[in-house]
């Protein structure tokens, strides 16, 4: 019999979840010879709770120790029109090997099966325990991404690009076109996510679009930046081709001038990877896109996912 119970995440769990995300993530990186990811403590990781709970269709599950009543594990999930996304999962290092992660995962998988939707996620290739957990549960790897980072000069990257005149900041009226584009490129839909980014109520997001140069109009690409210091990332994004991807990445890097954002690039897109190298990017990690259930294994263009919020 399990010595913990599972329940829905509650608003009053906010700081305990922030503490759990901070401790478990820092512990894993430090135990593997890397520096802490969240050196600022739970004051930074509360952003994860706030973002995940603000997204329409998102919810969380927690594991509670029966004796201490402390939260020892947590996971977020996002119900989207085409799929369920598995968000950040954390187990307190003092409670490893108790089956907490597996129990949380089963609840989400069973709920997705009941809804008739596949489950998708992006996980670190360095964390073999995590990879094994998902793989044993039936998740299949269908995409590999190299995490790249670079320190953007204070004046950004200003060399002209042939598509520069087609790029502009996105506005709320672009929502339908963005959703249509990602459906065509990656076969997924998540309008609530992009609505959240475009409304930008907390001031942590920036979105650029690349308008099509063809007479038919529409968009050739979209790319988002998260500007919060706890998770300074570029993505998610969807582009029809390399030119739109390069100019949008350049644009969002310039939005992050003076910062060192992380972005995930498909390993198969060497034109984009090579341009990132030319700007001075270096690789810092590898991530896998994984799915369980019916899903498309190909991308009709370029997809750049993120893991905050889970966007695959």
The CATH code of the domain that includes 229 is: 3.40.630.30
Same domain, 297 and 188: yes
Q: Is residue 212 situated within a structural domain?
A: yes
Q: How far apart are CA 89 and CA 54, in angstroms?
A: 17
Averaged pLDDT of the chain: 93
Q: Is residue 132 situated within a structural domain?
A: no
Average pLDDT over residues 161-171: 90
**Predicted confidence (pLDDT) at residue 248 exceeds the cutoff of 70:** yes
At 230 the pLDDT is 87
Number of domains in the chain: 2
Q: Is residue 19 situated within a structural domain?
A: yes
At 16 the pLDDT is 97
What pLDDT, in 10s, does the model give residues 21-38?
A: 999 999 988 998 888 888
**Predicted confidence (pLDDT) at residue 172 exceeds the cutoff of 80:** yes
- Residue 226: phi, psi to the nearest 5? -100, 120
What pLDDT, in 10s, does the model give residues 37-79?
A: 888 889 989 999 999 889 999 999 999 999 999 999 999 999 9
pTM: 0.94
**Predicted confidence (pLDDT) at residue 174 exceeds the cutoff of 90:** yes
Given 97, 117, 137, the domain boundary residue is 117
At 311 the pLDDT is 67
Same domain, 33 and 87: yes
Same domain, 255 and 187: yes
pLDDT band, very low/low/confident/very high, at 163 (cuts 50, 70, 90): confident
Same domain, 169 and 276: yes
Q: Is residue 267 situated within a structural domain?
A: yes
At 265 the pLDDT is 97
**Predicted confidence (pLDDT) at residue 1 exceeds the cutoff of 60:** no
**Predicted confidence (pLDDT) at residue 271 exceeds the cutoff of 90:** yes
What pLDDT, in 10s, does the model give residues 213-227?
A: 765 678 999 999 999
Average pLDDT over residues 189-202: 95
Q: Is residue 84 situated within a structural domain?
A: yes
- Expressed as residue numbers, the domain containing 248 is 146-304
Q: How far apart are CA 7 and CA 295, in angstroms?
A: 29
Average pLDDT over residues 183-210: 95
Q: Which residue has the tokens 């913990």?
A: 4
User: What is the DSSP annotation of the chain?
Assistant: --SEEEEE--GGGHHHHHHHHHHHHHHHHHHTT---S-TTTHHHHHHHHHHHHHSTTEEEEEEEETTT--EEEEEEEEE-SS-EEEEEEEE-GGGTTSSHHHHHHHHHHHHHHHHT--EEEEEESS-HHHHHHHHHTT-EEEEEEEEEE----TT------TTGGGEEE--GGGHHHHHHHHHHHHS---HHHHHHHHH-TTS-EEEEEEE-SSTT-SEEEEEEEE--TTS-EEEEEEESSHHHHHHHHHHHHHHTTTS--EEEEETT-HHHHHHHHHHT-EEEEEEEEEEESS-----SSEEE--BTTB--
Same domain, 162 and 265: yes
């Amino acid at each position: 019999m399990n010595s913990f119970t599972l329940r829905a995440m509650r608003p009053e769990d906010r700081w305990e979840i922030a503490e759990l995300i901070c401790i478990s993530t820092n512990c894993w990186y430090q135990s593997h010879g890397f520096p802490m990811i969240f050196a600022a403590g739970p004051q930074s990781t509360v952003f994860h709770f706030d973002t995940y709970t603000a997204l329409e269709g998102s919810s969380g599950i927690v594991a509670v120790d029966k004796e201490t009543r402390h939260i020892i594990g947590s996971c977020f999930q996002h119900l989207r029109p085409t799929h369920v996304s598995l968000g950040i999962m954390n187990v307190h290092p003092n409670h490893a090997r108790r089956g907490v992660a597996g129990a949380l995962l089963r609840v989400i998988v069973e709920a997705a099966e009941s809804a008739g939707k596949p489950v998708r996620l992006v996980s670190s290739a360095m964390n073999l325990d995590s990879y094994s957990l998902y793989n044993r549960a039936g998740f299949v790897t269908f995409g590999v991404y190299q995490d790249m980072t670079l320190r953007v000069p204070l004046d950004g990257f200003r060399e002209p690009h042939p598509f520069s005149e087609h790029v502009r900041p996105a506005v709320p009226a672009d929502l339908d076109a963005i959703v249509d584009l990602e459906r065509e490129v990656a076969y997924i839909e998540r309008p609530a996510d992009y609505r959240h980014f475009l409304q930008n109520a907390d001031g942590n997001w920036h979105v650029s679009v690349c308008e099509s140069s063809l007479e038919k109009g529409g968009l050739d690409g979209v790319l988002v930046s998260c500007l919060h210091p706890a998770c300074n990332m570029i993505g998610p994004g969807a582009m029809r081709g390399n030119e739109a991807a390069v100019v949008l990445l350049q644009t969002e890097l310039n939005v992050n001038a003076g910062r060192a954002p992380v972005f995930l690039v498909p390993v198969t897109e060497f034109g984009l990877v090579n341009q990132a190298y030319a700007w001075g990017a270096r690789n810092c990690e590898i991530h896998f896109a994984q799915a369980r259930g019916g899903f498309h294994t190909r991308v009709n263009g370029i997809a750049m996912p993120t893991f905050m919020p889970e966007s695959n």
